[in-house]
Amino acid sequence: MATALVTGASRGIGRAVAQAFARRGDRVAVHFGRDRDAAERTLASLDGDGHALVGGDLGDPAGAQAVVDAAAEALGSIGILVNNAAVAPSAANAHRVDGVSFEDWQRAWADMVAVNLLGSSNVTMLVAQRMIAQGEGGAIVNLGSRGAFRGERDHPAYAATKAGLQAFGQSMALVLAPYGISVASVAPGMIATERQASKLEGVGGDDIRGQSPFDRVGTPEEVADAVAYLTSPGAVWTSGAVLDLNGASYFR
């Protein structure tokens, strides 16, 4: 039985990852940024017991420290970290360079860099040092994006931060391997989460599904299955990898 901190686990991919870990017997710290009610629903859905709820703003270094400290205290240790929390693309934070004010451009970049890249790197640093001190190895998985490779017209900061997160993971894979800690990333394409429901149900839904020759988008559970594998003892040799999960919708 392992102990795991899953950031951004209120719903969607984070919830599915927490559920997959709990099904295999892990104890999970469910992190949320703002939506405590949704995080409590995630917590209530988990198999087994010994799970915990931890809240905090990962865009604030002090908040990241508090989240890691609270998770470690609740679980007794942290053997797995999943960096899933992110400021996701939306109509409200679109910042296409040919149609945005400089003020909105700055805001979008600052928000996404603070959470997607700096927040994840801070949590990783804090958890990695705990893993090293524990002396029992561990596993870290970053949630990247297909957009890191193909670009994002309306949300370039999202693509850039996800590319940075994936590159950061490879740097961590190099330095943490001697401590028995593996670090890998997954790069999903479009996933059928609550956040994407309006896009998939709208007039462009068929076009989005048609990006994949399977004529559908991925599910949170498919991403969670991949994360569960990457954090299993048999997956240590995947350290440094970036696993594409996009249903053959993009090749690199």
Q: Can you give the C-alpha Rg of the chain in angstroms?
A: 17
Catalytic residue among 145, 185, 239, 249: 145
Catalytic residue among 10, 120, 121, 158: 158
Find the Cα–Cα–Cα–Cα dihedral 36, 39, 40, 44, rounded to 10°. Answer: 180
Neighbours of 102 (CB within 10 A): 7
In the residue annotation, 162 being an active-site residue is answered as: yes
In the residue annotation, 250 being an active-site residue is answered as: no
In the residue annotation, 229 being an active-site residue is answered as: no
Catalytic residue among 10, 120, 162, 239: 162
Distance spanning both ends of the chain, measured CA to CA: 36
Neighbours of 144 (CB within 10 A): 30
Of 204, 217, 205, nearest in space to 245 by CA: 217
Q: How far apart are CA 250 and CA 57, in angstroms?
A: 33
Active site residues: 145, 158, 162
